[in-house]
Amino acid sequence: MGKICTVWNREFRAFWLSPIAYIIIIAFLALTNFLYFRTFFVEGQASLRAFFDFLPWTFLLILPALTMGQWAEERKTGTIEPLLTLPVTEWQVVLGKYLASVSLLGCILLLTTPLVFSVMKLSSNGIDEGQTLMSYFGALLLGATYLAIGSWVSSFSDNQIVAFILSLAAIAVLLFVGLPFVTFFVEGGFSVLLRNIGLTTHYSSLGRGVLDLRDLLYFGSMIFFFCFLTTRMVESRKWS
Amino acid sequence: MIEVSGLTKKYGEVLAVDDVSFSVSKGEIVGFLGPNGAGKSTTMKVLTGYLAPTEGTASINGHDIIDQPLAARAAVGYLPESTALYEEMGVVDYLRYMGRMQGVAGAAIQGRIDDVIQTCGLATMAHKDISQLSKGYHQRVGLAQALLNDPPVLILDEPTSGLDPAQIVEIRSLITRIAEEKAILLSTHILPEAQNTCSRILIISNGKLVGEGTSGELLDMVSGNEQYSVRLRGGDGTLRRLEQLKGVTAVSSNMENGELAATISAEKGHDLRERIFDTAVESGAKLLELSHTSTSLEDVFLSLTGTTGRRSGQEGGSQDG
């Protein structure tokens, strides 16, 4: 546990020492606020719908940039060698790095709260606080899943740009398979399967304010699965 | 402290390390010598747990590298060939991080950091960022990091590469200073370094251990390599007479401005200088120069490893990153 914290601490601070964290935060806030104020001014509505509905897509563009360097950079500079010859397990390093990126995601989501307060003030009939909280929880789980996928892609890429594009593609596939316009074209049972594999199904179910064990299980196992793959990928260097 | 038995490492089909066995005990500095791509770095990467052996095993401070990898790694201070550090971190920050990762207790960590900063001569650089440091100081931070948890075993991959001569002398004396309490395995392709620093030398070529011993023992392994270079003027038939001297194995010669320059190879153990002089006098030649060059470690190295650089690049090409 101590080693995980040590890795987490270094990685989390490294985010703030590089310009990448700031670029990502500014880009993300600009995009989400734009989407929010567009509905605010055009439709004259103060609603968080647009913000949460677009989150899977804004995350898609932004979160792979958080994880693209996670392993690719260590491999490129060679720092991975002193790191993995320390008395730590691969699992500890993977988890420490992963949790650091999730923590940054948490910071990013915290920075969107002014939006929520403005809606609270401006909206005529107020907002459903429970549902908003649940939507945030769903956003955290969704983002954490993106990060797990991005982390895994980074673990086998030597180049950050390649890692970015590949993770974006991998996440996009998981986003698209659950969407109605895809499931519409396939046969009954298979369409149910696709809908359940898709990320959006589970995300929007949480967004409605429903805490369903199946959604938790889905996100939990996705995160575990990709962290596990990352660990195996990092271990595989030994037998190269 | 380090026990290696039958260690073999293949990168796919390429045999990088072939059935290597050796041991390093406390108080010893063992030099790992070989041309580029001979398998030095690969062996070290296996010993430190970065790579898994294909066959064979090793133990460090009594801990098997496969069965007890964490205990084995905790007993090693490792300086990788690349000396890659986190450039964005400060020197002290980096050392604190590495210390925690090596399992140095929280209370002891500041003391250890101060110690290694002292030992490695980093005091003036301690508060800089690593990205501001020169190559030599990078190397020192790498070394400081390896010493943090005061490990019984040190594995140093080319500790003096990229340093200027003064720094090389400094690092070398540092290594000798800390050697008493530790088992040190260091790799190098610089022969004088191995000769000066190491109590024992392992010569590796094409993944195989081809020679082992003190530099004296290694010199004895290569026979027939006493050489004399002679410069003569006048005297007919001197060359033929020299060839007939007892112990001479070969004579090569050429004429330069009426002077005869000859290189005489002889078996080990015959000091031929006096007889070469006598022969020259007897045949009426004027002896202008006579020098005796005995076998150097370089000759040993070349003869044990075959031609150098034949496989160069192979090792580097097979590693990731």
- B70/A85 Cβ within 8 A: no
CA-nearest of B2, B1, B6 to B209 is: B6
Q: What is the pLDDT of residue A80?
A: 94
Q: Does B101 touch chain A (CB under 8 A)?
A: yes
Comparison of pLDDT for A161 and A119, the residue scoring more: A161
Contact A60, A175 (CB under 8 A): yes
Confidence at residue B202, expressed as pLDDT on a 0 to 100 scale: 92
Chain A residue numbers with beta carbons less than 8 Å from the beta carbon of B318 are 240
pLDDT computed for residue B311 by the predictor:
37
Paired strand residues for B295? none
Is residue B43 less than 8 Å (CB to CB) from chain A?
no
| pLDDT tops 60 at residue A96 | yes
Domains (range + CATH), chain B:
2-220+306-318 (3.40.50.300), 224-294 (3.30.70.1340)
Cβ contact B84–A79 (<8 Å): yes
The least confident of A38-42, A67-71, A88-92 is A38-42
B156 touches chain A (CB under 8 A): no
* A41 near B CB under 8 A: no
Q: What's chain A's average pLDDT?
A: 89
Give how far B52 is from chain A: nearest CA, Å. 5
Instruction: Report the predicted TM-score, pTM, of the whole model to 2 decimal places.
Output: 0.84
The pLDDT value recorded for residue B316 is: 38
- pLDDT, position A46: 66
Which regions in chain B score pLDDT beneath 50?
308-321
Q: Which residues of B touch A18 (CB under 8 A)?
A: 88
Cα–Cα distance between A31 and A51 in angstroms, integer? 10
Q: Is B87 part of the contact surface with chain A (CB cutoff 8 Å)? A: yes
Q: What's the average model confidence in pLDDT over A99-109?
A: 96
pLDDT digits (tens, 9 = 90+) for A167-218: 999 999 999 888 887 777 777 777 888 888 889 889 988 888 888 899 999 9
Contact A85 B50 (CB under 8 A): yes
Asked whether the beta carbons of residue A87 and residue B97 sit closer than 8 angstroms, the reply is no
Q: Residue A162 is encoded by which pair of tokens?
A: 């390649």
**SS3 for B59?**
strand
pLDDT on residue A137: 93
ipTM: 0.89
Higher-pLDDT residue of A96, B161: A96
B51 and A CB contact within 8 Å:
yes
Geometric angle at alpha carbon B255, from B249 and B260, rounded to 5°: 60
